[in-house]
Structure 1
Amino acid sequence: MEYEFRHGSKAAEAARNINDVYGANTTNDRTTRYWFARFRPGNFDVRNERGRPKMMVDNDKLKTFVEADDSQTTAELAATFEVRTKTILVHLPQIGKVKKLNKWVPHELNKRQREIRVETCL
């Protein structure tokens, strides 16, 4: 593919040429376009990358941030920790938090919180 790229071939043409030489279904247009996109900025490293890097969040720090301001959105937390929102959504249950009434709260109420709610209702 690198040869075809350097030769100036289009991705579809390169895929046909490669399949003609190495056999049908050796590659396809989509795969060739992917590699050509990697080659364009000068990245000719053909080693496979092992997926996305794992985004880790220190649960203790996350808990501190959430408890300091329980009205923060997942997007705000994600920006603070420089990770994706999905990563925050994975870590929040790990620290025992769920979103209720637009606040991050402990998943279970403690005894005192239950008593306060009963008193409020009465």
Structure 2
Amino acid sequence: MDMLKIRVVMEYEFHHGSKAAEAARNINDVYGAITTIDRTTHYRLPRFRSENFDLRNEPCGHPKMLVNNDELKAIVEADDSRTTAELAVAFEVSTKTILVHLRQIGKVKKLDKWVPHELNERQREIRIETCLALLNRHTNEGILNRIVTCDEKWILFDNRKCSASWLDPGSVPKQCPKQKVTLRK
């Protein structure tokens, strides 16, 4: 049965002088066992007492803030490294709303690919030569006579984060060079 018709019957029960539980029992006796529950009538009857006979539903929860997907796509494609927090502030919505709309326009978050650093052609050649020399040395000499031990422990402290971009699912992430490694004891 339509909820609007059930609310009309609830209004009838209110004008008849029934209490909420009694009104729910009467409605369920006539229209079926699970037509309404006590909580619904406990909600509606006090509204009738306060002269509010509007039987339509009011929107519940927070108002829906819609984001224009075309505008969001234009902003993300102009600068794909913007965070969801920055986008949420720009559109004045929550980060969850931004994530939903980013998913709708088909964007995924991908971390940029770290490369050791940018090498020119001569540096690449030197690296290849060095690697080949080390491989030859390994095959000619044993490894045990080159092990160095000490009694101190050195830990690399590097707290940089890799940046991320909002890209299409099939696209390749950007490459960004790592900064020079600094050691701290």
TM-score normalised to structure 2 length: 0.39
Matched, 1:88 2:90: no
CA distance in 1, matches of 2:43, 2:94: 24
Matched, 1:98 2:140: no
State which of 14, 26, 41 in structure 2 corresponds to 1:17.
26
Residue 59 of structure 1 aligns with which residue? 69
Q: Which runs of 5+ in 2 are unaligned?
A: 1-9, 112-160, 181-185
Paired letter, 2:102: L
Q: Which runs of 5+ in 1 are unaligned?
A: none
Residue 3 of structure 1 aligns with which residue? 12
TM-score normalised to structure 1 length: 0.52
In structure 2, relative to structure 1, the CA distance for the partners of 1:99 and 1:120 (3 Å cut) is closer
Instruction: Please tell me whether the aligned partners of residues 12 and 29 of structure 1 are also in contact (alpha carbons under 8 angstroms).
Output: yes
- C-alpha displacement of 1:28: 2.3
Choose between structure 1 and 2 for higher RCO, CA contacts under 8 A separated by at least 6 residues. Answer: 2
**% identity of equivalent residues:** 45
| RMSD (Å) for aligned C-alpha atoms | 4.6
CA distance in 1, matches of 2:95, 2:51: 29
Alignment length (residue pairs)? 113
CA distance in 2, matches of 1:82, 1:6: 46
Q: Counting helix residues as a fraction of each chain, which structure ranks higher?
A: 1
State which of 18, 42, 45 in structure 1 corresponds to 2:55.
45
